[in-house]
A and B are shown apart, each in its own frame.
Chain A
Amino acid sequence: MRYQPVIGLEIHCELQTDSKVFCTCQNEFGGSENTRVCPRCSGMPGTLPLINQNAVRLAAKAGFATDGTVNNYSAFDRKNYFYPDLPKAYQITQFDHPITTGGYITVFNGNKMRIHHIHIEEDAGKLVHDDYEGISMADYNRCGVPLIEIVTEPDFRSVEEVQDFVEKIALRLKYAGVCDARMEQGSMRVDVNISIMPVGSTEFGTRAEIKNLNSVKAIGRAIEYEINRQAEILDNGGTVIQETRRFNDNHGDTKALRSKEEAHDYRYFPEPDIPPVWLSDEDIAEIKASMPEMPQSRFKRYTEEYGLPADDANLIISSKEFSDFYDEAVKINPDYKQISNLMLVELNRNLNESEKTISDVTFSPADLAELVKMSTDGVVSKNAAKDILKIMFDKGGKPMEIAKNNGFIMDNDASEIEEIVNRVIAENADSVESYKNGNQKIFGFLMGQVIRLAGKGANPKIAKDVLTEKLK
């Protein structure tokens, strides 16, 4: 039988706050075990949690980044369970009243993938297993790291929709400064709820939850595996059971962690140590106003208003800093296409070769805008512009000064070129002869000789015209 997968996502994202969500320990990745722990985040008796206002703010921004509604009232609850990496034996989370509700992301095929809600919670610690000694050790550095959990509706029907959604939401969260979305470091973690049903059916099957997916590729492999696993069960007349499964990246398979019957009763109840969070309409408006323009909106602007090809627009928005740089430059010189070209080809070449990112660039968007203008105005040739950009990139400096100091200013004096052309024709009689006998290709060689003698300031158009004329 052919089956249709039905998929929903739960995405955990670490918020980019300076400190943890309920104490003042630093929120960082890595470092030695148990160096960022205090009585509060390790749940010592008599301690109380304190809400990090910036975490609330970033969570609200995640809502705006996904076109959700930020709620005036949200509140914390306790999720109770025993595990050695959870020192209080409860996780503070939002169960009944999340910070945001609703929202969606439109994926590549135009389908809207709806978000149910986003809630704030604290991360747990990590267990380090020493198989050799046969012991486990707890590292509480991650305890109390602020998280948001983004919970979607079961709207996904293919791997591609899931992967596109994950990439898009990661990009938006980066734009909003909410999360650095580094899946390989665990700052963004995706759990997939997946069931299958016969094609054409509207009744969802029993779902399995796949945990531990740390790359877009792993998400794809896990879903493919799970579709096949569940299909095989159904084809053999079996029934899929509701359970939590772990994806093993090395084997490419999923293994059962615990079934529904073994699931915890988390005994949720309102967290009495933290008063509810009230955000006034003004607070919410202020947070909204602080949001940068999101990538999908920029894409629309670049393609519809600026006339850039979709591929180019996608390349620009793939990094907020790159897109910001572009926007600054076109604000000064609205030559959308030329600035895009120079950045996507020449600037990117320099970045790739030097293994730098746009944040490392020392010249300003205004410098780049000026350079493009110098090129389109004929002050320097296009080739010279590339050279100037490289000098700006390597050593810094203003484009006009660089052009002047290096003889890049285009010389529009035809008489000077004429002398050079005459000299080239005289010195390359064989080639001239060959050209006149119909070897059109040799023109390029002769042109090259002219430019070499005339220097980088030569106006290639004038040179070409003069040479053509003289060769007649």
Chain B
Amino acid sequence: MALKKLRKMLDEKEIGAVELTRRYLDKIEKTDKNVNSYITVCAESALESAKKAQELIDAGEAGAFTGLPISVKDNICTMGVKTTCASRMLEDFVPPYDATVIEKLKKDNFVMLGKTNMDEFAMGGSSQTSYFGGVKNPYDTSRVTGGSSGGAAASVAAGLCAAALGSDTGGSVRQPASFCGVTGLKPTYGAVSRWGLIAFASSLDQIGVIAESAEDTGYVLDGIYGYDANDATSSKKSYGNYTSLIGGDISKLKIGVPKEFFGDGLNDEVKTAVLRAVEYYKQLGCEIIDVSLPSLEYAVSAYYLISSAEAASNLSRFDGIKYGFRSGLGENFNDLIKNSRREGFGSEVKRRIMLGNYALCSGYYDAYYKNATRIRTQLRSEYAAIFDKCDVMLTPTAPTTAYKIGEQENDPVKMYLADIYTVTVNIAGLPAISTTCGYDSNGMPIGMSLIGRAFDEKTIIAVCDRFEKDFERKECAL
């Protein structure tokens, strides 16, 4: 149900906050064993928050999020609640602080239902690398949810929360949203504070929103955006009101369709559905412009070099000394951290750490990391040229729909290449939103993405909303 409508129902007391939370908790208990979208369910504290929320509602002091049941990806720090990054390394880590986004929602007394499952340390596109077991797609539990915010997307798709906070480093909000038939918004880099988001790749990470609709993602973004003195990379350029263009005339907009995104490797059913969406906008009167992002072919390499290099450094702090998993083996410092890291990290995380350190080694730095940053610069200027000509860009979100669990997660190169349509947005720091634009022959959702100018989330939300209003989604099987 739309957040605006839920808000109205709570405020007009058509439903009590405790009752609402209990419904979600019941559903989680009943169905999440089939999905595994949550690592931690905060039943007790959620009901407490709901009780307090009801008091605020009764006193006429409700804010936008008072009593709204929301799930939080398990790499976002929550004070007093385990924040594991789906890793053995942080299996029992309880942060003594809240992420800024949590602090903001807590001001309104939102209801945190729990912490959602994900790929370990957000590294992956399947949500199968979690130490706590993989997440299953609510449309077909034999299939993956995508990732890394697979738990977040599945929790929304299966109706196990009203909205979800995720994070997106190379597509981790948009691609699982696409696989699970929901809407995922990755804001502009700097729009949302990263304070409390356990870093994967600092220059690419951004907290995002997964919800039932574009309007809902804007609703949540309004509650979490903004400059934060605790994050030097957060920006003062955001002004909120992310849903303000919804319902306005979008027929004068120019929509860019980049040819490189429709070439080899794109599944035919996906291609057909996305081009149908292009046609939809054309029918509305939007001008469709052919654009080009020539450096797309280098984007995946650049992304994996930059993100792995930063990850290798960011994850070095996990040494088993101060917090987190500590191996029982090790006579001295070096042995202890080697064993703690060997036992505490899963294989995909280790692969990225090795890749990243390799790219940064003296002698290889120029060939790998340095060249990757050149591609970053090049991609940014190519995007700048595109947005001189059009207002939004429309692309497929992923080359395929959700595949069977076990089908390709064990082929890292294939997995990495599947990120091709999402990573450029992170490299360029732009906002993008993914929504469902069709279903394949197996009934699995197909996602398309709308990419906007930096800090222009409003436009892509409105353009996305317009499509959603005319598109009929299928309920998931669960």
Enumerate chain A interface residues (CB-CB to B < 8 A): 39, 42-51, 78, 80, 82, 84, 87-90, 136, 138, 265, 267-270, 272-275
Determine if B95 and A45 form an interchain contact, defined as CB atoms under 8 angstroms apart.
yes
Interface residues in B73-101 (C-beta closer than 8 Å to A):
76-77, 83, 85, 90, 93, 95-97, 99
B385 in the interface (beta carbon within 8 A): no
Nearest to B228 among chain A residues (CB) is: A48
Binds A, one of B238-246, B316-324, B437-445: B316-324
**In the complex, chain B residues whose CB is within 8 Å of the CB of A272:** 201-203, 233, 310
Question: Could you tell me the distance between the alpha carbons of A74 and B233 in the complex, rounded to whole angstroms?
Answer: 16
Binds A, one of B23-31, B180-188, B190-198, B256-264: B190-198
Determine if B231 and A48 form an interchain contact, defined as CB atoms under 8 angstroms apart.
yes
Task: Tell me the smallest distance from the CB of A204 to a CB of chain B, in Å.
Answer: 22
Determine if A48 and B230 form an interchain contact, defined as CB atoms under 8 angstroms apart.
yes
| Given A48-B194, A50-B229, A265-B362: A80 touches B317 (CB 8 Å cut-off) | no
Task: Tell me the smallest distance from the CB of A173 to a CB of chain B, in Å.
Answer: 27
Determine if A273 and B96 form an interchain contact, defined as CB atoms under 8 angstroms apart.
no
Question: Could you tell me the distance between the alpha carbons of A219 and B313 in the complex, rounded to whole angstroms?
Answer: 35
Determine if A274 and B317 form an interchain contact, defined as CB atoms under 8 angstroms apart.
no
Determine if A39 and B362 form an interchain contact, defined as CB atoms under 8 angstroms apart.
no
Q: Which 9 A-B pairs have the closest CB atoms?
A: A89-B316, A267-B360, A272-B203, A272-B202, A46-B77, A45-B198, A46-B196, A46-B198, A43-B317
| Given A42-B322, A46-B195: A269 touches B334 (CB 8 Å cut-off) | no
Nearest to B369 among chain A residues (CB) is: A269
Interface residues in B229-284 (C-beta closer than 8 Å to A):
229-233
Determine if A84 and B230 form an interchain contact, defined as CB atoms under 8 angstroms apart.
no
Determine if B232 and A48 form an interchain contact, defined as CB atoms under 8 angstroms apart.
yes
B337 in the interface (beta carbon within 8 A): yes
Tell me which of B76, B201, B233 has the highest count of chain A C-beta atoms within 10 A of its own C-beta: B233
Determine if A273 and B77 form an interchain contact, defined as CB atoms under 8 angstroms apart.
no
Secondary structure call for the B interface = loop
Task: Tell me the smallest distance from the CB of B423 to a CB of chain A, in Å.
Answer: 16
Task: Tell me the smallest distance from the CB of B312 to a CB of chain A, in Å.
Answer: 8
**In the complex, chain B residues whose CB is within 8 Å of the CB of A49:** 232
Number of A-B residue pairs with CB-CB distance less than 8 Å in the complex they form? 100
Determine if B313 and A273 form an interchain contact, defined as CB atoms under 8 angstroms apart.
no
Nearest to A39 among chain B residues (CB) is: B97
Determine if A275 and B333 form an interchain contact, defined as CB atoms under 8 angstroms apart.
no
Determine if B317 and A45 form an interchain contact, defined as CB atoms under 8 angstroms apart.
yes
B329 in the interface (beta carbon within 8 A): no
B199 in the interface (beta carbon within 8 A): yes
**In the complex, chain A residues whose CB is within 8 Å of the CB of B334:** 82
Task: Tell me the smallest distance from the CB of B76 to a CB of chain A, in Å.
Answer: 8
Task: Tell me the smallest distance from the CB of B379 to a CB of chain A, in Å.
Answer: 17
Nearest to A90 among chain B residues (CB) is: B313
Other-chain residue from B197, B337, B362, B373 in contact with A82 (beta carbon distance below 8 A): B337
B357 in the interface (beta carbon within 8 A): yes
With contacts A49-B232, A270-B373 known, what are 7 further pairs, Cβ within 8 A? A46-B99, A47-B196, A51-B232, A267-B360, A267-B365, A268-B365, A269-B365
| Given A48-B194, A273-B232: A78 touches B313 (CB 8 Å cut-off) | yes
Interface residues in B83-128 (C-beta closer than 8 Å to A):
83, 85, 90, 93, 95-97, 99
**In the complex, chain B residues whose CB is within 8 Å of the CB of A87:** 317, 322
Nearest to B75 among chain A residues (CB) is: A46
Determine if A46 and B197 form an interchain contact, defined as CB atoms under 8 angstroms apart.
yes
Residues 352-374 of chain B: 1 if any A CB is under 8 Å from the residue's CB, otherwise 0? 00000100111001000100010
Determine if A275 and B230 form an interchain contact, defined as CB atoms under 8 angstroms apart.
no
Nearest to A273 among chain B residues (CB) is: B202
Determine if A80 and B319 form an interchain contact, defined as CB atoms under 8 angstroms apart.
no
Residues 333-361 of chain B: 1 if any A CB is under 8 Å from the residue's CB, otherwise 0? 11001000000000000000000010011
B309 in the interface (beta carbon within 8 A): yes
Nearest to A271 among chain B residues (CB) is: B202
**In the complex, chain B residues whose CB is within 8 Å of the CB of A78:** 313
Tell me which of A42, A46, A50, A275 has the highest count of chain B C-beta atoms within 10 A of its own C-beta: A46
Interface residues in B192-214 (C-beta closer than 8 Å to A):
194-199, 201-203
Determine if B93 and A90 form an interchain contact, defined as CB atoms under 8 angstroms apart.
no
Task: Tell me the smallest distance from the CB of A215 to a CB of chain B, in Å.
Answer: 30
Question: Could you tell me the distance between the alpha carbons of A287 and B334 in the complex, rounded to whole angstroms?
Answer: 45
Determine if B233 and A275 form an interchain contact, defined as CB atoms under 8 angstroms apart.
yes
26 A-B pairs with CB atoms under 8 Å apart are A39-B96, A42-B322, A44-B95, A45-B83, A45-B199, A46-B95, A46-B97, A47-B97, A48-B231, A51-B232, A80-B316, A80-B360, A82-B316, A82-B334, A84-B333, A87-B317, A87-B322, A88-B317, A89-B313, A136-B333, A267-B360, A267-B362, A268-B365, A269-B365, A273-B202, A274-B232
Question: Could you tell me the distance between the alpha carbons of A149 and B198 in the complex, rounded to whole angstroms?
Answer: 31
Nearest to B89 among chain A residues (CB) is: A45
Tell me which of B95, B196, B232, B369 has the highest count of chain A C-beta atoms within 10 A of its own C-beta: B232
Question: Could you tell me the distance between the alpha carbons of A268 and B369 in the complex, rounded to whole angstroms?
Answer: 11
Nearest to A79 among chain B residues (CB) is: B313
Other-chain residue from B77, B312, B313, B337 in contact with A45 (beta carbon distance below 8 A): B77
Task: Tell me the smallest distance from the CB of B92 to a CB of chain A, in Å.
Answer: 13
Question: Could you tell me the distance between the alpha carbons of A87 and B316 in the complex, rounded to whole angstroms?
Answer: 9
**In the complex, chain A residues whose CB is within 8 Å of the CB of B309:** 269
Question: Could you tell me the distance between the alpha carbons of A269 and B313 in the complex, rounded to whole angstroms?
Answer: 9
Nearest to B204 among chain A residues (CB) is: A272
| Given A82-B319, A82-B337, A89-B319: A47 touches B310 (CB 8 Å cut-off) | no
Nearest to A81 among chain B residues (CB) is: B316
